[in-house]
Structure 1
Amino acid sequence: MLKIINGTIITPGEIIHGGSIVIDNGKIVALSNAPIDLPCEEVIDARGLYVAPGFIDMHVHGGGGYDFMDGTVEAFLGIAETHVRYGTTAMYPTTLTSEVSDLFATLDSYKEANRQNSRGAQLMGMHLEGPYFALSQRGAQDPKYIRNPDPAEYEKILDYSDDIVRWSAAPELPGAIEFGRYVRSKGKVLALAHTDAVYEEVLEGFNNGYTLATHFYSAMSGVTRRNAFRYAGAIEAGYLIDEMDVEAIADGIHLPAPLLKLICKIKGPDRVALVTDAMRGAGMPEGESILGNIHTGLKVIIEDGVAKLPDRSGFAGSVATADRLVRTMINDAGVPLQEAVKMMTQNPARIMGVNATKGELAAGKDADIVLFDAQVNIRMTMVAGDIKHRVEIEDRIPG
């Protein structure tokens, strides 16, 4: 058994000062605003640091110099170990558009990495981003792989691996509604992404399972004209459909402060999930990098805290880490601490259907826990009761 004492514990209902948590066999067994009299092998004195649920990143491509599309076990383990240093305790490895053979290699590597992973964030299942996108909204995705949904292909992919838990696609494409119904019938989370859909097309997609907006605003239509008539786009649909959840790359660059404030004002704290959407440059120095497979991917430049296309005409991916997202929401968007944490923990857990065991600090939940200071600098990361990252905990009271 392990005990955390003197923590400023963040729960959905309140912030508990001087609280204690007891962990046994990877689970939280007790939580109190007072000392807990149970014998424990180890006691961690939080010394007033914030104690929060582990961060859940439901859309991440890479970090630490690796990309999941490298298709190697080393890449999966390296990314998991990189992001655990920044408070991520659970992640959903995300693909890019590719050949099916490359996708299968990545899925094979995931399975083996999941068996070997002992030092990084927990791998929760694969998120397929593409290849069924609107070419006009491809962003940095490789256009030669973008295509319309084909039942012979997507049924084969879903049959190949039971590790796929989410798929993002454009709902307006020919065959996309049938694709969505099939994905949902398999119990997978379905999201709209890289889409040129107008409101009516998004609404039809929502009614057929597209209940999440992938990286809201990025690679997504806004108000547009067709044959002189003005139409609301996917962004407006995301706002108008109350029950639709939205992802926010809250690095302060993909979404600057005014847009983060607008998203929170309209959608509210219960419908926003923070995601890094990080590529291999996360946790790495600025300079040249590669988006996607290390051998065949797109050369990019990392500067100003973001990845850019070589001609600097647009963004080519995020280099954010989970702590940066929470920090940005608090400092730039003016979101209260509890709400920012909820967007990085409880909301992703609900969206991905793992809220029975993850997303909040409560008895019976997994002991996925982070300790951080008032500036959201991560001091300790624990996954299922096992400390994966820890730095010296000094006397510091959150201010």
Structure 2
Amino acid sequence: MAFDLMEVTDEPLLTLLRVGRIQAPESLAATDILIADGRIAALGQDIEVPTDWPVRVVEARDLIAVPAFIDQHVHVTGGGGEGGCGNRCPEITAEEIASMGIATVVGVLGTDSISRSPADLLAKVRGLRAEGIAAYMYTGAYRFPPPTLTGDVQRDLAWIPEVLGLGELAISDHRSSQPRQDEIERLVSEVRVGAMLAGKLGICHFHLGDGKRGLEPLRRLLAETEIPADQVIPTHVNRHRALLEEAADYALRFDACVDVTAFDEVGEEDISAFEAVSFLLARGVPAERITMSSDCNGSLPEFDAKGTYLGMRVARNTALIADWQRLVHEKVLPLEQALGLIAGNVARVLGLHAGKGRLAVGFDADITLLDGDFQPQQTFVAGKCVYRVN
């Protein structure tokens, strides 16, 4: 029995983006992107599609197509709680994510893993997926032993597809469980084996506080064990100048990656992501070894010298894009390399680089369309437009 395909589906099976320029992240001669089944099917110029094919054409000749951004540190269920239940941060919405050109997020739990659990986090991650965001998560939280979904870190990695690794385990922070060096080494080893069983990279995402030990636990981990540096990612390395200097030395000594947080309000000691990336580059850290994340919807608590809670703000993801734009506008990095900080480098760090982080045939059709000021105008996830500026 013959039938018209367009009668049985509300969505065209193909999407054709016609843009002014494609940065893949390298500049391409192509200006058309053909999307099929959530992936990039072809790149070219003036791609012709038969008129009877189920295709949607998006004309965006004034915009630049880039790999959609990836934020590896998002409190999707909300962070906070350091000042009691009245200080819990709100959950993030899919629109708040996509409006910044972000297609992929990794959800984390922070200080509070009591009123919020890995199960809550997984439910939120799956909810974001239902709304079109490519969402993942870390098992665990600040504390040791880490809370898990299955009762075991290895099982979480092996059996839960959304779990990419462990995080954010807190070190050098008064809110940390103060894990011993042998406990850190054992836990990272557990993550490595669980990830191997699942065919994942198995990231251990470490929250760095402003404590005097700094990166010393991770230095010892890499110097005294066989754990590869690519499995260990320290974040918030721009809390203060001394920690940032240590992060530069750490990255160079171990050929390791470091993650810079885009603080939306820089305090007396905090260093902006723009300044931190500029500093790391000046110290000789390759751009490929630097990533940026937002820490959005987490709390930005203030404590006095004795650790007494004074107050808090809620982090946003707007600074991530603003600091990134400034790096491009002020020519700290060319656009091709700057895109790595929030796309290609992050995909590699997370083990998602086979399908995300660049625009190429066969890759996920996660595409952000930028205007001339590099402001996101449209965000596509798996070929579907999840955000458009009105």
Q: TM-score by structure 2 length?
A: 0.73
User: 1:159/1:21 Cα in 2 relative to 1: closer, same or farther (>3 Å)?
Assistant: same
Work out the CA distance in 2 between the residues paired with 1:127 and 1:69: 18
2:175 corresponding residue in structure 1: none
Equivalent of 1:277, from 290, 295, 309?
A: 295
For residue 320 of structure 1, the aligned residue among 308, 317, 320 is: 317
Aligned to 1:59: 73
The corresponding residue for 1:344 is 342
Please say if 1:218 is aligned against 2:239: yes
Aligned to 1:15: 27
- Residue number in structure 2 paired with 1:237: 250
**Residue in structure 1 matched with residue 126 of structure 2 by the alignment:** 114
Deviations 1:156-197 (A, max 9, x none): 352674343232433864521111111222112113332654
Rounded Cα–Cα distance in structure 1 between residues aligned with 2:374 and 2:352: 25
2:338 alignment partner AA: A
Displacement of 1:95: 0.9
Match of 1:208 in 2: 227
Structure 1 residues 169-226: Cα deviation after superposition (integer angstroms, max 9, x where no partner): 3386452111111122211211333265467643332343553221223379649xxx
1:304 maps to: none
Q: How many residues align?
A: 331
AA in 2 matched with 1:337: L
Q: What letter is aligned with 1:255?
A: I
1:175 is aligned to 2:197? no
Going from structure 1 to structure 2, the CA distance change for 1:203 and 1:53 (only over 3 Å counts) comes to: same
CA contact (8 A) 1:84 1:120 kept: no
Structure 2 letter corresponding to 1:264 = L
Alpha-carbon deviation of 1:18? 6.1
Mapped contact 2:94–2:128 kept (Cα < 8 A): no
User: Which of 376, 379, 383 pairs up with 1:378?
Assistant: 376
**Aligned match for 2:271, one of 255, 271, 281:** 255
Distance in 2 (CA, whole Å) between partners of 1:332 and 1:94 is 32
What is the SS of the residue equivalent to 1:4?
Answer: strand
Matches within 5 A, 1:18-33: 19-32=31-44
> Does residue 386 of structure 2 align to residue 388 of structure 1?
yes
Structure 1 residues without counterparts, runs of 5 or longer: 132-148, 224-231, 281-290, 293-297, 301-308, 393-399
CA distance in 2, matches of 1:155, 1:41: 43
Provide the aligned C-alpha RMSD in A.
3.6
Task: Look up the SS of the partner of 1:270 in the other structure.
Answer: helix
Identify the residue that residue 164 of structure 1 maps to in structure 2: 163
Could you tell me whether the CA contact under 8 Å between 1:151 and 1:179 is conserved in 2? no
Aligned to 1:182, the other structure's residue is in SS state helix
Q: Which residue of the partner structure matches residue 36 of structure 1?
A: 47
Match of 1:47 in 2: 61
Matched, 1:264 2:259: no
Q: Could you tell me how far 1:389 is from its partner in structure 2? A: 0.7
d(CA) in 1 for partners of 2:69, 2:189? 30
Partners of 2:314 and 2:185 lie apart in 1 by 28
* Residues 205 and 234 in structure 2, CA contact (< 8 A), matched pair in contact too: yes
**Contact 2:366–2:383 (CA<8 Å) still a contact in 1?**
yes
**Structure 2 vs 1, CA of residues 177 and 373 (structure 1 numbering), >3 Å: closer, same or farther?**
same
Q: Alignment identity in percent? A: 21
Report the Cα offset of residue 114 of structure 1: 0.7
- 389 and 258 in structure 1: CA distance in 2 versus 1, 3 angstrom threshold: closer
- CA distance in 2: counterparts of 1:6 and 1:153, whole angstroms: 44
Q: How far apart in 1 are the matches of 2:278 and 2:332?
A: 8
Q: CA deviation at 1:58?
A: 0.5
Matched AA of 1:276? S
Give the direction of change, closer, same or farther, for the CA distance of 1:311–1:8 in structure 2 (3 Å limit).
Answer: same
Instruction: Give the partner amino acid of 1:205.
Output: L
Secondary structure in 1 aligned to 2:41? strand
CA shift, 1:358, in A, is 0.8
Structure 2 residue identity aligned to 1:165 = L
Looking at structure 2, the residues matched to 127 and 273 of structure 1 have their Cα atoms a distance apart, in angstroms, of 21
Aligned to 2:105: 91
**1:68/1:126 CA distance change after superposition, 3 Å:** farther
Q: Which amino acid aligns with 1:164?
A: V
State whether residues 345 and 359 of structure 1, in contact with CA within 8 Å, keep that contact through their aligned partners in structure 2.
Answer: yes
Query: Is the contact between residue 221 and residue 235 of structure 1 (CA under 8 Å) also seen in structure 2?
Result: no
What whole-Å deviation, never above 9, does each CA across 1:227-274 have from its counterpart, x for those lacking one? xxxxx95553234322x1111124584433443212123222211111
- 3-state DSSP of counterpart to 1:190: strand
Measure the CA separation in 1 of the matches of 2:215 and 2:294.
Answer: 26
Give, in whole Å, the separation in 2 of the partners of 1:332 and 1:310. 38
Partner of 1:186: 194
